Amino acid sequence: MAESFEQAATELAALRKQINGWRDEYYTRDAPSVTDAEYDQKYRRLEELEAQFPELVTSDSPTQLVGDAVLPDFGKVEHPVPMLSMGDVFSLEELGGWIDHLNADAERDLEYNVELKIDGLSLALEYTDGKLVRASTRGNGRIGEDVTANVRQIADVPQTLPAPLTIEVRGECYMPKAAFAALNKQREADGETTFANPRNAAAGSLRQLDAQITKKRQLATFIYTLMDPASFGVTTQKEAIAYMASLGFATNPSSQALSNLTEIDEYITKYTADRDALSYGIDGIVLKVNDLHLQEELGATVKVPRWEIAYKFPPEESATVVRDIEWTVGRTGVVTPTAVMDPVQLAGTTVSRATLHNPDFIAAKDIRIGDTVDLHKAGDIIPEVARVVLSKRPADSVPYVAPTNCPSCTAKLVHIEDEVALRCINPLCPAQVQEQLTHFASRPAMNIDGLGPKIIAQLQAKHLVADVADLYTLTADDLAQLDKFKEKSINNLLHSIAGSRDNSLERLLTGLGIRHVGAKAAAVLAEHFGDIDTLMAADEETVAAVDGVGPIIARTLTQYLARPETRELIEQLRASGVNLRYNGQVAPVATDSPVSGKTVVITGKFAEWSRSDLTNRLKELGAKVTGSVSKKTDLLIAGTDAGSKLTKAQNLGTQIMTESELQTNLFGDSPKS
């Protein structure tokens, strides 16, 4: 309790400033700097003070706000029924008190639908006549962001319902744990800031201006709220979930209708123990009054519904001591720090190492050798330092100084603009070469069986390989120098290397490890351009116009292919007999249609065609279908809600064709025939 009105006013002002700053990091920038537990502790203190001094409550207090600002790059969506936050409790005693209070108000023991609290961001989906017409985020509760284009890229969101219903449902968009781990691994390798947890990764992925980026992020949903349930004959929350599942929505199967604290405690105990084994992140349990009519009667405060509550899991943390900080060099030259610590148990596993991400992370938390630190698992997956325990810092502690030279080759490390990582830019750095060779030989790339990191390390140590082209000059005598390599091992590896010469171009592009060019983009590029020489001759604008590629991949790809050392490497591979062409089957195309050889862009919605069907049909007619409008675009096919691509085409004077004109001029009168 505060000692005086003046002290309370001072503390409240400081808390509001601090918490609103954290809210901006969490909701707007998707980059929180503190754990949920730290936020919750300060937020509860704010609530206590405002309850003690209600005259000090202000409209800008976090207790009066829902979500955060709507980003200006997205269209605004007004929610007719506000999307509110949830109240929360942090112990079984508090939860029991909330249940007793609600039961007393209702003058009977109520039934509660108990659900997992998914660690994601709120999402609303609207359908008209069974068709998805709009998707939006919660935003500030009243106004959200229009993210329809991005949500169409989420695999488990139905585009069409099995019945022509006009309906709105709400739920959570989340990133599965495996996708979160893979995304952060890739971002760290690229020298980019990693996401703090799956929730922020999901938010950052859904609030993208490029829907293709959202598509790559492997987002998923759980839908749990049916708006206007009476119109569909639904009377309970349990029934609502079953009804939405019957319409094809992804719903979480774990919910149970329970009526007493003993049963609810058993549910909480089960999922507290099982949460690490789930493929998605949860940060608590949600109780909702099961009777939907009673929900409506109970209503809501300015911020939270009175009929639901979230029980938040206590933070699982372990304290340990940092004994060393090791730096490793990745394939792209990014130098990453790792804390080496005394082993501790955390979330069911023994942990002795934790990523420190980059020098900024170390500096922001002021992590030093010898510090005692609290560890937690980001998204229940990745061990991470939550904070330094300053009270246990040794008296002779000194700030940690990041290295200035590469730990592998001693070259000067650099900070590249807009990156948080330190990077070694020496192309002959042994650590980078080893990572590059390992990636080149991996299954998604050139698939050279038997060529793993240990063999590559031996080849490097004996100066037999310096880059990927050297693999194709290896002889039996070379391999005989390796430990435990006898005739059979030698023949098997030489045979595998020889077989990789015939791989299709997309495998080579994947194996070269070009930044942002993964297996999928490589396949698109190989099929589109056909061979490496055509691809190297293409400019950035031409590459960016390829459907599914975009400006980011185009920029890094063309820069990589323009480097003299890259062109020399390609020539070495050519001389070694490595195939540089696309080997896949390309469907035969017409040469006498009006769009043969033309560059065509598709935009908007179509009554008779899916986007993929329309793309395939145009390709069959000889068109080159790309994703963005440029001066090289010959034709724009515009459906309804065409947007900025139509505007740009009009400004450029590009030929524009509607769906009906498309049917008449190109396809005749039989859609999809």
The rounded distance, in Å, linking the Cα atoms of 177 and 280 is: 5
Closest residue by Cα to residue 569 from 508, 497, 640: 508
Q: Pick the catalytic residue: 42, 76, 117, 484?
A: 117
Phi and psi at 224, nearest 5°, equal -140, 0
The rounded distance, in Å, linking the Cα atoms of 649 and 541 is: 16
The rounded distance, in Å, linking the Cα atoms of 545 and 633 is: 9
The rounded distance, in Å, linking the Cα atoms of 266 and 309 is: 17
- Token pair, residue 127, equals 């359908």
DSSP letter at 438?
H
- Token pair, residue 571, equals 């020539």
**Distance (Å) of CA 281 to CA 186, 271, 319:** 20, 11, 23
**Between helices 261-274 and 92-106, what is the axis angle to 10°?**
140
For residues 649 and 656, the answer to whether their CB atoms sit within 8 Å is yes
Strand-pair partners of 350: 345
The rounded distance, in Å, linking the Cα atoms of 390 and 367 is: 10
CA atoms within 13 A on the CB side of 164: 1
For residues 22 and 36, the answer to whether their CB atoms sit within 8 Å is no
- Secondary structure (DSSP) of 236-261: BHHHHHHHHHHTT----TT-EEE-SH
The rounded distance, in Å, linking the Cα atoms of 263 and 523 is: 52
- Token pair, residue 664, equals 């008449």
The rounded distance, in Å, linking the Cα atoms of 163 and 160 is: 8
Active site residue 117: yes
Closest residue by Cα to residue 497 from 509, 483, 486, 511: 511
Q: Distance between the two ends of the chain, CA-based, in angstroms?
A: 75
Strand-pair partners of 626: 546, 601
- Token pair, residue 70, equals 């709507």
Strand-pair partners of 89: 311
The rounded distance, in Å, linking the Cα atoms of 274 and 343 is: 23
3-state SS class at 629? coil
The rounded distance, in Å, linking the Cα atoms of 228 and 40 is: 32
The rounded distance, in Å, linking the Cα atoms of 595 and 445 is: 35
For residues 371 and 389, the answer to whether their CB atoms sit within 8 Å is yes
Q: Which residue has the tokens 């009009």?
A: 650
For residues 578 and 584, the answer to whether their CB atoms sit within 8 Å is no
Closest residue by Cα to residue 227 from 311, 136, 309: 136
Closest residue by Cα to residue 638 from 614, 613, 671: 614
For residues 280 and 179, the answer to whether their CB atoms sit within 8 Å is no
**Distance (Å) of CA 146 to CA 125, 227, 627:** 10, 18, 21
Which positions are annotated as active-site residues? 117
